[in-house]
Structure 1
Amino acid sequence: MMRSNVKSSKLSIFKKTALITVLGIALTSNIAYAADDGLSTVYHVYMDGEHIGTTDSKDVITSYIDELITAREEANDTYAYVTKQEISYVPERVFNPDASNEEVLTKIEEDIAIQVNAYGLQIGDKIAGYFKNKEEAEKTLQQYKEKYVDKEILENLENADKDSDDEPMPLSVGDSAILEVELSEEVTYQEEKVNEDVVITVDQGIELLEKGTLQDKVHTVEEGDVLGSIAGQYDLTTEKLIALNETLSEDAVLQIGQELNVTEYAPFVNVVVTKEELVEEEIAYEKEVEQSDDLYKGEKEVKQEGQDGKKEVQYAIEISNGSVVSKEVINEEVTKEPTKEIIVEGTKVESSRGSGNFIWPTVGGYISSYMGERWGSYHKGIDIAGPSNRAIIAADNGTVESAGWDSGGYGNKVIINHNNGYKTVYAHLASISVSSGETVTQGEQIGVMGTTGNSTGIHLHIEVYKDGNRIDPASIF
């Protein structure tokens, strides 16, 4: 309150001083009028085009305004102060001057606004901020660029622009060069009168450019999204997100593909850097498969080892505010050709050759007697009984070595040579469905389970030999 009184007091003093000045001018003018034609000059005063009164001296108005500005400048010499309103005068010669100096000064005292001359940093069609002079605005923009591009590089680019005959140096592998730094929006500087409290410093300007301005944005709901995670993604509270979307509530169930209104800060302007870089990259070798009937199917051999090649690639890269937005190959040179890998795969199929992976030789069933000592003698194999049907099948691919009656107690017997060191013997068959020399495949029926020879019941007696040595059949099934 005291400060306001002091200000009002100062304004009154200015006004009184101005009126005394007018009185002096008027006395002098009266002397002149006596020798003149009886006409006096008055001035109609306009504030922003609106008539506010008549004065018999422009000086009384201008001196009053000058005093106001001087007082502000003495309090703060940072800015150049000006009046917000435009004061204009229209002179008129009259016989009987009817000036209202005090009324005009009172009107000015009540309505005049003192502002500062400032420069607006205009980016596109938006004012990012106001600065006390153009140099401050330019400095802000320069330091904003230096966040993304080294100061020395910016200076070099500026000097290169002045001497366009300079050719860029060729790049070596691993090197890069910035060719151009531009802004994504047109930047201009607008001189304006503004209130002192909206003028910002360079540091405040940089912070403002970094943060950007809010823009409307739509978020499409994806799997796993919840209100809290969406709000956090856009630096919002959940309450704010709900407020932006009338159909939302705290317990709303989001649907995949649903669109929500969100807000997001977007930079006022992006620093767009165009650069080139030369890098060495590997060329992945190709793989080629050859087929050969010299190898069995499933067998592979490496005929030629593969080796990666090398190439030098020159890229043109565009970076916006530190993020790569495009990367294009402009030149590519192979320095080492890759060596193709060649794999030979076998195609040879021989059903008489066993794989070594045996299958159960009956359709179900169980081992009713194991290999080993039994009833005072040695049991050379295992017995399988209780199948779901009586088919006997080849345990693996092979050639029938013999098929027929065995007088040694085996009854009807089949021996299969699997041509890989293994042989299998099948005994006590009721009937045989293969003949000696025939090739059989794994799972093929070779007979029917029976009780021929020395047998106490219907079952299959099977023996297995590896490289001429008898082994326990239970170990391979």
Structure 2
Amino acid sequence: MFILKKYISETLLKRAVFFTIILFFVSLHAAAAFGQILPTEYQVYYKGNHLGNVSDAKAVDKAITDKVKQAKKEYPSFSFAFHKEVSLRPETVLIPDTEDKKVIKQLKELPIEAKSYAIEVDGKKVVFLPEKKEAAETIEALKYQYLTDEEREAIEKGKTESKTKIKEISFSQEVGIEKSEVKPSQIMDSKKALEKLNKGSKEEKIYKVKQEEKLAAVASENGIDTKKLVALNPALEQKTKLEEGQSVIVEEEKPFVDVVINKEIIENRTIPSAKKVIPNSNLPKGKIHIKQEGKSGEKEIHTVVSIENGVEIKKNVKSQEIVSEPVATIVEKGTKIIPSHGTGSFEWPAVDGLITSKLGYRWGKLHKGIDIAGPSDPAIKASDNGVVIFAGMSNGYGNKVIIDHQNGFQTLYGHLDSISVKEGDIVPSGSKIGIMGSTGHSTGVHLHFEIRQNGKLKNPLNYIHR
């Protein structure tokens, strides 16, 4: 009996397993067959964000293609990655839940971005260019913009004999290039990108008011209009009187990145020749003789200069080297007094007195010298050493004396009351030659005094010393 029960149990177990296996394969086949007739919907994503579900994938693809085509028409030189930014995920469902019109509308309204290369300053994207090459060229232009053509050529050709050696060019911030997708309107050419990098952004700074400086002057000094200045300083009004030293908020443009150049300048400078004057007792007083011609020297100076954005901020002399020593000019100056030779220095020809008339036209006629009147002593003196070449009456001059100073100069003394010298006399400077008077064409007692050099009339006031 036990054996019979065991047999029945095993038989039933085997049949159960068999029917389970058959049922599994039948269900699997049915599900596969049923899935072929279930609808498929597409989940639409833009940059990972779910926009909704659609039933027509082709409509989505057409919307993308049309959008890119329109962008290409407007910006033919740019590349667009809109296809990659939009993705579709198919899904078989029992009951579809789609919103094709809404999703297509969203796709059409999405901003389309172009491929670009951003120049980053300290990780912040500042300008965008269409090609990596243009971005690199812009950075190079930014780096070398403050160099002269000669300095650029020296760097490019590796010249070592240049008078200016660029030691280092660096940026104050980290500058790099990164791929980026942005609106086409944000992409610019190299020239505009360089301008934007240099112009930078506006930052507030404190300005100290100068003495008696008005609001309009402060605005003009800082390149902003008065309304903007008042907006930055609400406490101010256009008619407010500013005080010296008062703090005012203004704006200044600060480049996104500072360009720092360290260079060594080698320049040759002239060392001026010194002049030494030595007395010579064998030369007549007033004469000079160049004993040794001078010659300038030369020195080479090495200067280290730091320049920030084209402005010199530091300058240090590294070394100096004498290339050639200067040679002094040695001048011998005569000290020997020879009564017949002038010294070139003219003394006042009277004892005190005042100038009553100067050189120039008077009463329609040229007055050839100066008139001196009112002395404390009537004596007339030789203005410098010389030889008397005329002593006597001379029409309008009355009693007249002419002294030749043997150096190209002659002096004339007119209207004398009496003459104390004769022609051929050697007269030292300061020696008496006559008495002041009013002879000839004269309106009163005075001395008429003239100076000539090589026959040409000179203004005595440029020569005489009191």
Q: Residue 122 of structure 2 is aligned with which of 106, 124, 129?
A: 124
Q: Is the 8 A contact 2:39 2:92 kept in 1?
A: yes
Cα deviation digits, residues 192-220 of structure 1 (max 9, x gap): 22222222223322333343331212111
1:25-44 map, 5 Å = 34=33, 42-44=41-43
| Letter paired with 1:131 | L
TM-score by length of 2: 0.52
- Assess, with a 3 A threshold, how the Cα gap between structure 1 residues 70 and 33 changes in structure 2: closer, same or farther: farther
1:314 CA drift (Å) = 0.9
Q: Residue 244 of structure 2 is aligned with which of 232, 252, 256?
A: 256
1:22-421 map, 5 Å = 34=33, 42-55=41-54, 61-83=60-82, 86-89=85-88, 92=91, 94=93, 96-100=94-98, 102-103=100-101, 105-106=103-104, 108-109=106-107, 111-124=109-122, 126-145=124-143, 147-150=145-148, 153-154=151-152, 157=155, 169-170=160-161, 175-282=163-270, 310-336=298-324
1:261 CA drift (Å) = 0.7
Q: Is the 8 A contact 1:182 1:272 kept in 2?
A: yes
- Assess, with a 3 A threshold, how the Cα gap between structure 1 residues 314 and 243 changes in structure 2: closer, same or farther: same
Q: Is the 8 A contact 2:212 2:242 kept in 1?
A: no
| Letter paired with 1:235 | G
Q: 1:243 & 1:52 partners in 2: Cα distance?
A: 44
Q: 2:102 & 2:67 partners in 1: Cα distance?
A: 15
Q: Single out whichever of 200-209 and 99-108 deviates more from structure 2.
A: 99-108
Q: Is the 8 A contact 1:83 1:112 kept in 2?
A: no
Q: 2:151 & 2:432 partners in 1: Cα distance?
A: 84
| Letter paired with 2:184 | E
Q: Is the 8 A contact 1:177 1:277 kept in 2?
A: yes
- Assess, with a 3 A threshold, how the Cα gap between structure 1 residues 75 and 227 changes in structure 2: closer, same or farther: closer
Q: 1:70 & 1:145 partners in 2: Cα distance?
A: 38
Q: 1:106 & 1:186 partners in 2: Cα distance?
A: 42
Q: 1:89 & 1:155 partners in 2: Cα distance?
A: 56
Secondary structure of 1:81's match? coil
Q: Is the 8 A contact 1:182 1:273 kept in 2?
A: yes
Q: 1:249 & 1:74 partners in 2: Cα distance?
A: 52
- Assess, with a 3 A threshold, how the Cα gap between structure 1 residues 115 and 308 changes in structure 2: closer, same or farther: same
- Assess, with a 3 A threshold, how the Cα gap between structure 1 residues 275 and 35 changes in structure 2: closer, same or farther: same
Q: 1:316 & 1:124 partners in 2: Cα distance?
A: 28
- Assess, with a 3 A threshold, how the Cα gap between structure 1 residues 159 and 70 changes in structure 2: closer, same or farther: farther
| Letter paired with 2:80 | Y
Q: 1:156 & 1:309 partners in 2: Cα distance?
A: 29
Q: 1:200 & 1:467 partners in 2: Cα distance?
A: 92
Q: 1:256 & 1:277 partners in 2: Cα distance?
A: 41
* Structure 2 segments unaligned to the other structure (5+ residues): 1-30, 276-292, 330-375, 379-429, 437-466
Cα deviation digits, residues 418-454 of structure 1 (max 9, x gap): xxxxxxxxxxxxxxxxxxxxxxxxxxxxxxxxxxxxx
Which residue is equivalent to 2:24? none
Q: 1:276 & 1:73 partners in 2: Cα distance?
A: 51
Q: Is the 8 A contact 1:122 1:188 kept in 2?
A: yes
TM-score by length of 1: 0.51
Cα deviation digits, residues 443-469 of structure 1 (max 9, x gap): xxxxxxxxxxxxxxxxxxxxxxx9999
Which residue is equivalent to 1:384? none
- Assess, with a 3 A threshold, how the Cα gap between structure 1 residues 308 and 158 changes in structure 2: closer, same or farther: closer
* Structure 1 segments unaligned to the other structure (5+ residues): 1-31, 161-167, 288-304, 342-369, 373-465, 473-477
| Letter paired with 2:260 | V
Secondary structure of 2:113's match? strand
Q: 1:199 & 1:68 partners in 2: Cα distance?
A: 19
Secondary structure of 1:318's match? strand
Q: 2:310 & 2:247 partners in 1: Cα distance?
A: 29
Q: Is the 8 A contact 2:296 2:326 kept in 1?
A: yes
Q: Give the length in aligned residue pairs.
A: 312
Q: Is the 8 A contact 1:84 1:112 kept in 2?
A: no
Q: Is the 8 A contact 1:84 1:193 kept in 2?
A: no
